[in-house]
Amino acid sequence: MSKRKFSYYDFGRVLSYNAVINMIMGARGLGKTYGAKKIVIKNAIERGEEFIYLRRYKPELKNRDNFFSDIAHEFPGYEFRVNGPRAEYRLEGDDKWKTMGYFQALSIAGHVKSVAFPLVTTIIYDEFIIEQGVTRFLPDEVTKFLDFYSTVDRYQDKTRVFMLSNAVTIMNPYFAAWGVTPEKELTRFGDGFVVAHFVDSEKFAREVMNTRFGRFIKDFSGTYADYAVQNDFRDNDGRLVAKKDSKAQYDFSIRCSSGAFSVWVGQSAVFFQRRLPKKVGIMYTITDDVREGEIGLVRNDKICQWLRRKYRAGRLFFDSPQSRNGFQELFL
């Protein structure tokens, strides 16, 4: 039986932006990880470069022995193996194995701060957006990731990152920290240091929907089909998203792990906004690091209870799905 062919992801477009961090969010099975592996293996063979395959937690690397199983056929004449934390290769018939990459968990990356990676030019951070209910983001994860990148690159501007994920949730620390929104298919952020590609894979989606599984999920699990095949984020919708009443008055601001928000009170509704006024006034914080001029809150304080009541009554509105999702995660 011949293997069905699909229109897999082409890295050419995102690489043309020459960004350091390349965030690629696409449908399941689109070939994101496969394509990234093909790039780093080719660079190792042709240029002697090395890579790091990064996951969040160590148990996510337990199947690393299968790293080459689906792609080794692309490189006839070479042999590949995983040797502990290293990926290695050699020409068929050679005795000596060469290091081409490393497997690393971000949760314990602090242990390698003194280790040098002079030949590493690519980091593949696979499944950087988590499946809700499966695991958790690390505390202060973005800082931990940037620390790890700094350890690898050593300010040499030599290291590129592929951050790969399915369209799981827009409420994640990387989108919040870098202001990433899925408003356009491909957008630069941070003066071009970051590029985010929300892959519009219509051809791939049509091909999947022509399979028996595709027809099944289309008819009986539309929500899953939208997320897994159409690349629609589950929580990127317009529930309780509304423009702020022009007569609403600024009341106070709140800072949390996902950023700072302003709260505005109108005649019949309250508005929770990402944008802060020019004069901030009262700033509450729900974090462990209360800064000068801020007032610390805990989740059962009266202000938090008031916001929750407004939300449950359907009278709390947000300027974006990200703000709404951030509120839900913080207060609910």
Same domain, 139 and 281: no
Residue 30 amino acid letter: L
Rounded Cα distance between 118 and 125, Å, is: 19
Residue 73 burial (CB count, 10 A): 8
Residue that is last in its domain, among 228, 262, 295: 228
pTM: 0.77
Q: What is the DSSP string of 244-312?
A: PPTT-EEEEEEEETTEEEEEEE-SS-EEEESSPPSS---EEE-SS-PPTTEEE--TTSHHHHHHHHHHH
Rounded Cα distance between 184 and 174, Å, is: 17
Count up the domains in the chain and report the number.
2
Residue that is last in its domain, among 195, 228, 261: 228
Same domain, 120 and 45: yes
User: Is residue 247 classed exposed, middle or buried when 0-12, 13-18 and 19+ CB atoms within 10 A define those classes?
Assistant: exposed
| Residue 267 domain flag | yes
CATH of the domain at 165: 3.40.50
Q: What is the pLDDT of residues 3-57, one digit of tens each?
A: 666 568 889 999 999 999 999 988 777 889 999 999 999 999 999 999 999 999 9
Rounded Cα distance between 330 and 261, Å, is: 12
The predicted pLDDT at position 222 comes to 57
Mean pLDDT of 276-281: 88
The predicted pLDDT at position 46 comes to 97
The predicted pLDDT at position 3 comes to 66
| Residue 238 domain flag | no
Average pLDDT, the chain: 86
Range of the domain at 284: 249-331
| Residue 233 domain flag | no
Same domain, 74 and 215: yes
| Residue 123 domain flag | yes
Residue 193 has pLDDT above 70, yes or no: yes
Same domain, 16 and 140: yes
Same domain, 119 and 184: yes
| Residue 57 domain flag | yes
The predicted pLDDT at position 26 comes to 80
Same domain, 206 and 296: no
Same domain, 214 and 304: no
Phi and psi of 219, rounded to 5°?
-85, -30
The predicted pLDDT at position 285 comes to 87
Query: Considering only 297-301, 309-313, 316-320, which range has the smallest mean pLDDT?
Result: 297-301
The predicted pLDDT at position 7 comes to 62
CA end-to-end span of the chain: 51
| Residue 66 domain flag | yes
Same domain, 28 and 124: yes
Please give the angle made by the CA atoms of 60, 61 and 67, to the nearest 5 degrees: 125
| Residue 186 domain flag | yes
Using an 8 Å Cβ cutoff, are 194 and 20 in contact?
yes
**How far apart, in Å, are the Cα atoms of 4 and each of 7, 51, 210, 254?**
10, 30, 11, 52
- Confidence category of residue 119, pLDDT binned at 50, 70, 90: very high
Residue that is last in its domain, among 178, 197, 228: 228
Rounded Cα distance between 271 and 208, Å, is: 41
Same domain, 266 and 178: no
Same domain, 190 and 82: yes
Same domain, 188 and 288: no
Same domain, 315 and 205: no
User: What secondary structure letter does DSSP report for 42?
Assistant: H
